[in-house]
Amino acid sequence: MSAIDTTMLAAMREAIAELLPDTCTILSPTSAPDGYGGVTTTWGTATASVACRLDMKQGRELASGESVQPFTAYTLSLPWDATINASWRVVVSSVTYAVTSINIGQSWKAVTRCELEKV
């Protein structure tokens, strides 16, 4: 028997939904031939106005050429049933982020969490 029954899981999902103060737009890519042997990718809205919470995960500086470039990773929390893919993008407050990973192995699906980087 599971430690959490369906009623408890529904209550967890409801409580988490109250902790998602912002909204985001989830973008999916479409690729098309560019006529020169390559491919052009365009981004279209997969889902608009998705409840979310964006948190800064870490900040560090990376050496690039002879300069130091700031780098920050983010964690995006979405409703448990949000549809998102690790190759997609997300727009939060007019800033576009690339999805780098998605949690997929949790025992109880109460929230979807994604790791993001600014585009």
- Which of 103, 101, 105, 104 lies closest to 115 in space, CA to CA? 101
pTM value is 0.83
Could you tell me which CATH class the domain 6-118 is placed in?
A: mainly beta
Mean pLDDT by 10 residues, the chain (119 residues): 81 93 97 93 97 86 70 91 95 97 84 93
Could you state, in order of their start, the residue ranges of all structural domains in the chain? 6-118
Contact 54, 78 (CB under 8 A): no
